[in-house]
C-alpha cells in the first residue's frame, strides 16, 4: 500500500531559510502580520488534511472513477463529496482569496504549499477546488461588478466550483478555429451554443452549482484568436436574491475514458442555448482567460511537484525494505538473506533523481509563488513590474520542467519497485498514469517551450531573461570568492554563460528562419530549467554549508542532494544544447508523404 507524509521540514526550509518569506511579507502591506508561526501552523494543518483526508481516497478514486447517469449528472467516487465538505468547512478554498469576498487574504505562497500536499495526496480530487481558484482569479480580475457579486463569494467559500471551457473536438491549442457561438439576447446576456471537450470537473456532485468560463464567438467576431470572447455560464441560473434557479441548458454529454486521473470527471460539455454573460471586453476573451490559464499552468506545475514527492517517498521506503542480492562491496546486511536494494548504485541514482527533482521543484515553485505575492502587493511600481516580468518568464518553465521531471520521477519509482511497481496494489503505476496528463493539458509542454523561447525570450529581445540573469550573476559574484562554494558556483556560472550564448545564437538563426525556434524550443526550455535549478541548488547548498557544524542530518542530506544534482543531472544540458544548436534542417528535410 502507498504512503504519504507531508515534507514539512523541507517546506519550512524553503519558506523560511531559502526564501526568508517573512522578510518579504514585511514589505507587503497586505501580509505584514503573516509571521513564521502563522505559516507553520497553516502548512501543518494543510499537511494533516492532505494525508489524513485526501490521501486515503486516492486509490479509491482511481479504481471507481466517476459515474455519469442518464440525466447527465455525475457522481464522484466514494468519499470525495464528504472530503470536499470538510475542505470547505475548514476554510481552505478561501485561503489566499480577497477578504472583500470572504477570503482569508493570505499569501499565494501558502496556497502553493497547500496544493503541493493535496496533489501528492490525491491529484484527481484536488483538481475540483484547484480549478475553482483559477475561475475566481479570472472573475476577480475581469468580471463585472454584477458578476463579482453573483459568483465570487460562492467560489471563494467553495460552495460553488468553476471550470475552464476552451477545447473543442476540432481545436485544442489552436483556439482560433473554435466554433462555439454566443448570440446576443435582448436583456444583454448571450445564448451559448457549442460543444467543449476534455473539461476537467465539468460535472460532479460536490457542489450545488458550477460556474463554467466559456470561450465563444460573437456573430460579428473577426477570424482567429482576436475574435474570441469569454462568458460566465452557470450550470444553474442564479435568481436575483442569489438563490439557485432553473437548469441553464448545460449538460454533460459523456465522461472521457482516460489513462489516469480517474477520480476527476473529464467531461464533454454541451451548451444548448445556455445563458451566459460577457466577461471582459468583446473579442478579447483570451486576455481574460489567460489569467485563469496562467494560474492553471502554475497549478499543473504543482501537480508535477506533488507526484514527484509522493513517488520519491514510496520509492525510498521500498528500497530500504526490499531485499535483493548483495552490495558489490560486500554484504551490508549479513544477518539477512540479501541486502536492501538501496545499497545498489543505480537504485540510489533513481532515488536521488526523484529527490533532487522534488527539492528543486519545491524551491522553484515556492519562489515563483512568493514573486506573485510581491507582484500583486508591493507598494513600489518598479518592483511590481520587475517581479511580474520574472513571473511571466518563469511560468512556462514551471509548467513544463516540473511536469517533465515528474514523469521521469514516477517512472524511476516504478523501476525501483520492479515488477511490484507495475501492479496496482503498490500505487506506483497510478502515479505514472496520473503524471502523464500534466505534460499535455493547460498547453502541452511543447507549447510552453515555444511560449518561452518565442514570446518570453525572443519576443522582447531577451529583456526578461536578462533580469533573471542579473540575479544569477549577482549571486555568482557574491559567492564565487568562497572556496567551499566553488563546486556549486563554477557549474552555475558555466550554464549561465552557455544559456546566454545559446539564446543569442538561436535569435540570430530565427531572423533567417522561424522554424529554428520550433526546432530548438524544447531542449532550450529544459536547459533554462536547469539554469534555474542550478541557481536554487547553489543557494540551498550555501545554507547547508553554513549549518554543517550543527550536526543536523537535514543539512547533510541537502548538501548531498545538491552535489548529486550538479554531478548527475545538470550534465544533461550538454546534450540539450547540442540538440538546440542542430537546427531545423534534419527535422524538415523529409517530405510529409514519406512519413
Which residues are identified as catalytic? 442
Are 395 and 298 a contacting pair, CB within 8 Å?
Answer: yes
CA distance 377 to 388: 11
Q: What is the DSSP string of 278-333?
A: EESSTTBHHHHHHHHHHHHHHHHHHHHHHHHHHHHHHHHHHHHH-B-S--TTS-S-
CA distance 180 to 158: 28
Q: Bridge partners of 195? A: 270
- Residue in 202, 125, 119, 197 with CA at minimum distance from that of residue 162: 202
Are 194 and 179 a contacting pair, CB within 8 Å?
Answer: yes
Are 358 and 308 a contacting pair, CB within 8 Å?
Answer: yes
DSSP structure class, residue 257? -
Q: Which three-class secondary structure state does DSSP give residue 210?
A: strand
Q: Which phi and psi (to 5°) does residue 277 adopt?
A: -120, 145
Q: What is the DSSP string of 449-466?
A: HHIIIIIIIGGGTTHHHH
CA distances from residue 489 to 418, 482, 540 in whole angstroms, order as listed: 37, 9, 12
CA distance 161 to 258: 22
Count of C-beta atoms within a 10 Å radius of residue 134? 25
Q: How do 244-247 and 250-255 pair as beta strands? A: unpaired
CA distance 27 to 13: 21
Q: Which three-class secondary structure state does DSSP give residue 568?
A: helix
The rounded Cα 42 to chain-centroid distance in angstroms is 20
Residue with cell 523541507: 10
- Residue in 269, 295, 291 with CA at minimum distance from that of residue 204: 269
Q: Which three-class secondary structure state does DSSP give residue 340?
A: strand
Residue with cell 470538510: 86
CA distance 342 to 349: 10
- Residue 349 CB contacts under 8 Å (≥ 6 apart), including other chains: 568
- Residue in 583, 467, 471, 462 with CA at minimum distance from that of residue 523: 583
Amino acid at each position: 500500500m502507498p504512503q504519504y507524509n507531508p515534507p514539512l521540514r523541507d517546506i519550512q526550509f524553503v519558506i523560511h531559510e531559502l526564501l526568508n518569506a517573512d522578510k518579504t511579507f514585511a514589505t507587503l502591506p497586505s501580509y505584514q502580520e503573516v509571521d513564521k508561526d502563522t505559516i507553520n501552523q497553516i502548512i501543518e494543518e494543510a499537511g494533516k488534511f492532505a494525508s489524513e483526508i485526501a490521501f486515503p481516497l486516492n486509490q479509491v478514486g482511481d479504481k471507481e472513477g466517476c459515474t455519469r447517469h442518464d440525466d447527465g449528472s455525475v457522481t464522484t467516487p466514494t468519499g470525495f463529496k464528504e472530503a470536499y465538505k470538510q475542505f470547505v468547512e475548514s476554510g481552505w478554498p478561501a485561503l489566499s482569496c480577497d477578504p472583500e469576498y470572504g477570503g482569508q487574504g493570505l499569501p499565494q505562497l501558502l496556497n502553493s504549499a497547500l496544493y503541493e500536499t493535496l496533489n501528492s495526496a490525491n491529484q484527481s480530487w484536488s483538481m475540483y477546488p484547484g480549478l475553482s481558484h483559477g475561475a475566481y482569479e479570472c472573475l476577480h480580475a475581469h468580471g463585472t461588478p454584477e458578476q463579482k457579486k453573483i459568483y465570487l463569494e460562492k467560489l471563494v467559500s467553495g460552495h460553488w466550483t468553476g471550470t475552464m471551457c476552451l477545447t473543442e473536438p476540432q481545436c485544442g491549442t489552436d483556439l482560433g478555429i473554435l466554433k462555439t457561438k454566443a448570440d446576443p439576447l435582448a436583456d444583454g446576456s448571450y445564448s451559448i451554443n457549442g460543444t467543449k471537450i476534455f473539461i476537467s470537473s465539468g460535472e460532479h456532485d460536490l457542489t450545488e452549482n458550477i460556474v463554467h468560463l466559456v470561450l465563444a464567438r460573437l456573430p460579428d467576431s473577426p477570424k482567429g484568436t482576436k475574435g474570441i470572447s469569454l462568458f460566465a455560464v452557470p450550470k444553474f441560473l442564479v435568481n436575483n436574491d442569489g438563490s439557485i434557479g432553473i437548469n441553464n441548458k448545460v449538460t454533460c454529454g459523456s465522461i472521457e475514458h482516460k489513462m489516469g486521473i480517474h477520480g476527476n470527471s473529464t467531461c464533454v460539455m454541451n451548451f444548448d442555448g445556455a445563458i451566459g454573460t460577457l466577461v471582459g471586453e468583446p473579442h478579447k476573451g483570451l486576455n481574460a482567460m489567460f489569467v485563469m490559464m496562467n494560474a492553471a499552468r502554475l497549478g499543473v506545475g504543482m501537480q508535477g511537484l506533488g507526484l514527484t514527492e509522493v513517488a520519491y517517498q514510496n520509492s525510498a521506503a521500498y528500497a530500504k525494505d526490499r531485499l535483493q542480492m548483495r552490495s558489490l562491496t560486500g554484504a551490508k546486511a549479513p544477518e539477512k538473506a540479501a541486502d536492501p536494494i538501496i545499497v545498489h548504485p543505480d537504485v540510489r541514482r533513481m532515488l536521488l533523481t526523484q529527490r533532487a527533482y522534488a527539492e528543486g521543484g519545491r524551491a522553484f515553485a515556492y519562489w515563483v509563488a512568493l514573486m506573485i505575492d510581491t507582484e500583486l502587493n508591493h507598494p513600489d511600481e518598479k518592483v511590481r513590474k520587475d517581479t511580474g516580468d520574472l513571473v511571466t518568464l518563469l511560468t512556462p518553465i514551471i509548467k513544463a520542467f516540473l511536469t517533465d521531471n515528474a514523469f521521469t520521477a514516477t517512472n524511476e519509482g516504478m523501476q525501483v519497485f520492479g515488477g511490484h511497481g507495475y501492479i496496482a496494489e503498490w500505487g506506483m503505476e497510478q502515479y505514472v498514469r496520473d503524471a502523464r496528463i500534466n505534460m499535455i493539458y493547460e498547453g502541452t509542454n511543447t507549447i510552453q517551450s515555444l511560449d518561452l523561447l518565442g514570446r518570453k525570450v525572443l519576443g522582447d529581445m531577451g529583456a526578461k531573461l536578462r533580469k533573471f540573469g542579473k540575479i544569477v550573476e549577482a549571486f555568482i559574484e557574491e559567492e564565487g570568492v568562497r572556496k567551499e562554494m566553488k563546486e556549486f558556483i563554477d557549474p552555475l556560472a558555466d550554464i549561465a554563460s552557455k544559456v546566454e550564448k545559446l539564446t543569442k545564437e538561436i535569435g540570430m538563426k530565427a531572423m533567417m528562419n522561424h522554424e529554428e525556434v520550433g526546432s530548438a524550443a524544447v531542449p532550450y526550455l529544459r536547459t533554462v530549467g536547469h539554469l534555474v535549478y542550478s541557481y536554487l541548488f547553489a543557494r540551498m547548498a550555501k545554507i547547508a554549508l553554513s549549518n554543517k557544524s550543527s550536526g543536523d542530518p537535514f543539512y547533510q542530506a541537502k548538501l548531498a542532494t545538491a552535489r548529486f544534482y550538479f554531478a548527475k543531472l545538470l550534465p544533461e544540458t550538454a546534450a540539450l544544447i547540442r540538440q538546440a544548436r542542430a537546427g531545423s534542417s534534419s527535422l524538415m528535410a523529409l517530405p510529409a508523404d514519406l512519413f
